[in-house]
């Protein structure tokens, strides 16, 4: 994980429920920062990092993800009390996504329509990572330089909010796929799984999990150390990858219902 240091709070993005913001860093870059002190907590940052970097490993387009170090003094002169408190609570390492200037949110009505192969890849990937937040109401897709970028993965991997239920989540059909914004164009989700799964080996999973900072891994009663917790994520994702027929079938059933 590349680490940058926040130097200036530019503007809040109030359409986000966790109050992300555009922040300038010491590398002169602008980043959309997700703060660990927001209501969704550190688990949202964990999901953002894991899912975003696995999407990149699968060959999907994702803005660069970086760790953003926030000093307690950053919000000292911020007039908005809510933002000032958020920055105070987020002192330390947060998560940033490279700001894509001029990008526009994908609109399934206005188009252009995505390629069926890409749509199938994204639908399969989101079913694998249990991402419930890629709907027509909230696509979390940006069109930039004629390419579709995946953003905002904090709602994925929802199994980690209840580890006691994790074993059964490995084999969930992911019924939320019926609301996926790209489902109408995803004409071969099964082929997408066969295409992407080999790129998501256990070695890749371990590399991505290995970059999750200890500070983001909140203590879990079932695991004695951050290493054990990382291994549990890897085990879940590997088992779910190999059980893909379950959620591929659900995706195909949901797409057939659209016709």
Phi and psi at residue 180, to the nearest 5° = -65, 130
From residue 93, give the alpha-carbon distance in Å to each of 46, 90, 96.
Answer: 12, 8, 10
Percentage with pLDDT > 90 across the chain: 90
User: What secondary structure does DSSP assign to 210-238, as a single string?
Assistant: HTS-GGGS---TT-SSHHHHHHHHHHHHH
Q: Is the pLDDT of residue 77 over 90?
A: no
Q: Is the pLDDT of residue 116 over 80?
A: yes
d(C-alpha 85, C-alpha 18), whole Å: 13
Please, which pLDDT band fits residue 39 given cuts at 50, 70 and 90? Answer: confident
Between 248 and 80, where is the model more confident? 248
The pLDDT of residue 73 is 87
- Per the structure block, which two tokens stand in for 168? 């059964």
Give burial (CB, 10 Å; 0-12/13-18/19+) of 23: buried
Express each pLDDT in 2-11 by its tens digit.
999 999 999 9
Percentage with pLDDT > 70 across the chain: 99
d(C-alpha 155, C-alpha 179), whole Å: 15
Please, which pLDDT band fits residue 17 given cuts at 50, 70 and 90? Answer: low
The answer to whether 115 touches 187, Cβ cutoff 8 Å, is: no
For tokens 């927001």, the residue is 38
The answer to whether 245 touches 194, Cβ cutoff 8 Å, is: no
The pLDDT of residue 16 is 57
The answer to whether 248 touches 127, Cβ cutoff 8 Å, is: yes
pTM of the model: 0.95
Phi and psi at residue 66, to the nearest 5° = -135, 160
Query: In a 3-state reduction of DSSP, which class is residue 43?
Result: helix
Three-class HEC string of 74-138: CCCCCCCHHHHHHHHHCCEEEEEEECCCCCEECCCCCCCCCCHHHHHHHHHHHHHCCCCCCECCC
d(C-alpha 169, C-alpha 242), whole Å: 13
The answer to whether 53 touches 211, Cβ cutoff 8 Å, is: yes
The answer to whether 192 touches 123, Cβ cutoff 8 Å, is: yes
Express each pLDDT in 210-254 by its tens digit.
999 999 998 999 999 999 999 999 999 999 999 999 999 999 999
């Amino acid at each position: 994980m590349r680490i940058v240091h926040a130097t200036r709070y530019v503007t809040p993005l109030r359409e986000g429920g966790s109050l992300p913001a555009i922040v300038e860093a010491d590398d002169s870059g602008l980043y959309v920062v997700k703060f660990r002190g927001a209501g969704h907590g550190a688990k949202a940052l964990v999901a953002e990092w894991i899912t975003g970097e696995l999407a990149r490993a699968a060959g999907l387009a994702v803005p660069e993800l970086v760790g953003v170090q926030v000093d307690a003094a950053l919000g000292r002169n911020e007039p908005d009390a809510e933002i000032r408190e958020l920055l105070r609570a987020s002192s330390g390492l947060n998560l940033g996504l490279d700001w894509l200037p001029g990008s526009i949110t994908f609109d399934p009505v206005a188009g252009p329509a995505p390629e069926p192969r890409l749509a199938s890849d994204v639908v399969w990937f989101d079913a694998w990572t249990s991402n419930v937040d890629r709907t027509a109401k909230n696509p979390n897709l940006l069109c930039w330089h004629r390419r579709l970028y995946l953003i905002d993965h904090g709602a994925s991997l929802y199994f980690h909010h209840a580890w006691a239920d994790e074993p059964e989540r490995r084999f969930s059909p992911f019924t939320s796929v019926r609301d996926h914004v790209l489902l109408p164009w995803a004409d071969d989700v099964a082929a997408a799984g066969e295409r992407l799964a080999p790129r998501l080996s256990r070695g890749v999973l371990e590399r991505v999990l290995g970059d999750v900072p200890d500070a983001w891994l909140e203590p879990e009663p079932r695991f004695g150390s951050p290493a054990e917790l990382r291994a549990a994520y890897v085990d879940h994702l590997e088992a779910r990858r190999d059980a893909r027929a379950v959620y591929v079938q659900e995706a195909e059933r949901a797409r057939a219902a659209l016709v």
